Amino acid sequence: MQSSIVLLPGDGIGPEVVAAAERVLRLVADRFGHRFEISSHPIGGAALKSGLPPLPEATRAACQEADAVLLGAVGDPAFDRGSSEGRPETGLLQLRQALGVFANLRPAKVWPGMEDGGPFKPELITGVDLLIVRELLGGIYFGEPRGIAKDRQSAFNTMRYSRPEVERIAEVAFKAAQGRRKLVTSVDKANVLETSRMWRRVVTEVAADYDDVELEHILVDNAAMQIVQMPERFDVMVCDNMFGDILSDEAAAVTGGLGLAASASLGDKGPGIFEPVHGSAPDIAGQGIANPAAMLRTVALMLGHGLGEHEQARAVEQAVDWALETTHTPDLGGVATTQQFGDAVLAALS
């Protein structure tokens, strides 16, 4: 077995958690006889600081040739006041477009033994296991026209979706639900937005091809409330780009925090982008205390969804679960360092 992986450490704590991921990949290679060709490239603020655009052409080309892309984090306060073209986050949006990754999978699950890890009472979140399927290449983040008035006293963005965009993300959600509890909850704002009314109609039509899956529609504000009040009732939630962005972070917080949440961004073909949900966390960058669990769970998603190595994925998942029981970083109330958590995962994998 041989796979090429592009590492994009990025900004803030990104290089620290990516370093932990690379250590795990090296051990997986030794244990399973899987050869990884690993290369590292700049993106985001790290690229801008070198005088490059947020997505350098060499980085784009390397990602397009790889089997999978593993991203640390993008975002640097030093560039917060720049134009869109000069912001680190633009590099990630451009990469998603370049690779055609339209489906963002965001699992939110409470693992046994981690019921006390979040801000909610254990009895509220015990057994929570939901998957948010977020459309990633359309909606208000990419719609045209957009802009800022010349006098800078007004600005506008366009929320736009086409039928094919909604159909393909709905297909991903229904297929995922078939392997889970067979419930799809489609999130929209159909009482206000024309795009949401079309979204609801198209998702309903796609549902006709999945007789074994139940479909329900829910307004986004109600969805946000129910994720807090009764998160265990959800199975697969399918959302547009902006709603999915917001609700997936909320679900992550309910189930233990962004330091535990992984994600996979997939397209019809070509490499996927795999990244932890947390941001660059510049306030703790360089201190060696970032929780790498989300990144290491992301490695498991990459192995399973990106490379088809499900046994390797399960081994990494189990090792991370074991480390979470024994080694707590500061975000989980402990004092373990990034290095120590990585050591615990490696020990469980060995």
- Measured in degrees and rounded to the nearest 5, phi and psi for residue 8 equal -120, 85
Question: Is the confidence at residue 149, as pLDDT, over 70?
Answer: yes
Q: Which of 141, 182, 321, 343 is catalytic?
A: 141
Q: What is the DSSP string of 259-323?
A: GG-EEEEE-SSS-EEEEESS---TTTTTSS----HHHHHHHHHIIIIIT--HHHHHHHHHHHHHH
Please give the model's pTM, rounded to 2 decimal places.
0.88
Residue 30 known to be catalytic: no
| Model confidence pLDDT, tens digit, residues 61-99 | 999 999 999 999 999 998 877 666 779 999 999 999 999
Q: Which of 49, 182, 245, 321 is catalytic?
A: 245
Q: Which of 189, 210, 235, 331 is catalytic?
A: 189
Q: Which of 80, 116, 209, 221 is catalytic?
A: 221
| Token pair in block for residue 99 | 């690779």
Handedness of CA 16, 17, 19, 24 (dihedral sign): positive
**Three-class secondary structure of residue 72 per DSSP:** strand
Higher pLDDT, 295 or 111: 295
Residue 141 known to be catalytic: yes
| Model confidence pLDDT, tens digit, residues 38-53 | 999 999 999 999 999 9
Residue 245 known to be catalytic: yes
- Secondary-structure percent of the chain, ordered helix, strand, coil, rounded to 5: 45, 20, 35
Comparing 116-130, 143-157, 191-205, 219-233, the range with the smallest average pLDDT is 116-130
| Model confidence pLDDT, tens digit, residues 209-218 | 999 999 999 9
Quote the pLDDT of residue 195.
97
| Token pair in block for residue 43 | 């993106």
With cut-offs at 50, 70 and 90, classify the pLDDT of residue 207. Answer: very high
Dihedral through CA 182, CA 187, CA 193, CA 199, nearest 10? -30
Quote the pLDDT of residue 51.
95
Question: Is the confidence at residue 125, as pLDDT, over 80?
Answer: no
- Measured in degrees and rounded to the nearest 5, phi and psi for residue 341 equal -65, -45
| Token pair in block for residue 116 | 């006390």
Quote the pLDDT of residue 114.
64
| Model confidence pLDDT, tens digit, residues 109-119 | 886 666 665 66
134, 108 contact by CB (below 8 A): no
| Model confidence pLDDT, tens digit, residues 223-249 | 999 999 999 999 999 999 999 999 999
What is the C-alpha separation between 294 and 275, in angstroms, rounded?
8
Q: Which of 11, 235, 249, 331 is catalytic?
A: 249
Side by side, the strands of the sheet bearing 2-10 are: 35-40, 2-10, 68-73, 272-276, 262-266, 103-109, 129-135, 236-239, 183-188, 214-219
Quote the pLDDT of residue 5.
98
- Measured in degrees and rounded to the nearest 5, phi and psi for residue 56 equal -60, 150
Question: Is the confidence at residue 130, as pLDDT, over 90?
Answer: yes
